[in-house]
């Protein structure tokens, strides 16, 4: 017998074209997977942002209602006054009386709260300060952004009227220091309506209306 001849085994490998096609397929799958993950992350971020905005809005409305619920007429300064841009009110606190101002500056609804005081002179000074706010004072906070405009209405009798109307004007405030308050005061309404119009693309759509019933002044 002739000696056995050994032949090398032939192994089949991938051609360059096959390798490139496989890499292309994997790249497409990876890109599709990344787009899916990116969409999930974006959706989560949008949902979280909307939730945060809703919580912020609820917090602002709750503070608004609390301020009006604690409204107090001290008789030496107006308890409630709206000039179209600023709402000034006097509210009671456990420590005394406090001036609060809600104001629209640019597209931000701001809230300023003065110190709680127990003396007439201090309250009158706080009222004067409330009329001269610039927006950067201590105690002034940005409550809500994206507000295009706002308007207030008072409920008197059986109808709503513009808060800037002269309805309800009564005699001058007795005992008010010179320059400490306007020469006339207004009877407190039975309710306050706030209407906020939101800027398009600012996070909220359309407008918001909130009615607050005022209780009897203790």
pLDDT at 184: 46
In whole angstroms, how far apart are CA 65 and each of 88, 120, 131, 211? 14, 25, 22, 9
> Is residue 170 very low, low, confident or very high in pLDDT (cuts 50, 70, 90)?
very low
Mean pLDDT to the nearest integer, 146-151: 92
How far apart CA 51 and CA 84 sit, in angstroms, is 30
Q: Is the pTM of this model over 0.85?
A: no
Bridge partners for 86 per DSSP: 103
pLDDT at 67: 95
pLDDT digits (tens, 9 = 90+) for 25-67: 888 887 777 777 767 777 776 666 677 888 889 999 999 999 9
pLDDT exceeds 60 at position 208? yes
pLDDT exceeds 60 at position 180? no
Residue 113: which region, alpha, beta or left (left: phi > 0; alpha: psi -120 to 50)?
beta
């Amino acid at each position: 017998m002739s000696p056995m001849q050994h032949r090398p085994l032939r192994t089949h490998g991938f051609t360059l074209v096959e390798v490139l096609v496989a890499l292309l397929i994997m790249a497409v799958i990876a890109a599709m997977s990344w787009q899916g993950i990116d969409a999930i992350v974006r959706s989560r971020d949008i949902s979280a942002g909307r939730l945060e905005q809703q919580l912020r809005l609820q917090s602002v409305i709750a503070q608004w209602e609390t301020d009006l619920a604690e409204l107090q007429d001290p008789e030496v300064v107006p308890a409630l006054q709206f000039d179209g841009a600023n709402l000034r009110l006097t509210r009671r606190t456990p420590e005394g009386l406090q001036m609060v101002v809600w104001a629209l500056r640019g597209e931000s609804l701001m809230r300023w709260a003065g110190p709680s005081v127990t003396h007439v002179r201090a309250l009158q000074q706080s009222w004067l300060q409330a009329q001269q706010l610039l927006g950067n004072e201590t105690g002034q906070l940005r409550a809500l952004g994206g507000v295009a405009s706002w308007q207030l209405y008072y409920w008197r009798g059986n109808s709503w009227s513009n808060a800037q109307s002269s309805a309800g004007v009564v005699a001058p405030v007795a005992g008010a220091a010179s320059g400490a308050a306007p020469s006339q005061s207004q009877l407190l309404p039975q309710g306050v309506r706030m209407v906020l119009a939101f800027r398009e693309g600012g996070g909220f759509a359309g407008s918001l209306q909130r009615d607050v019933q005022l209780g009897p002044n203790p």
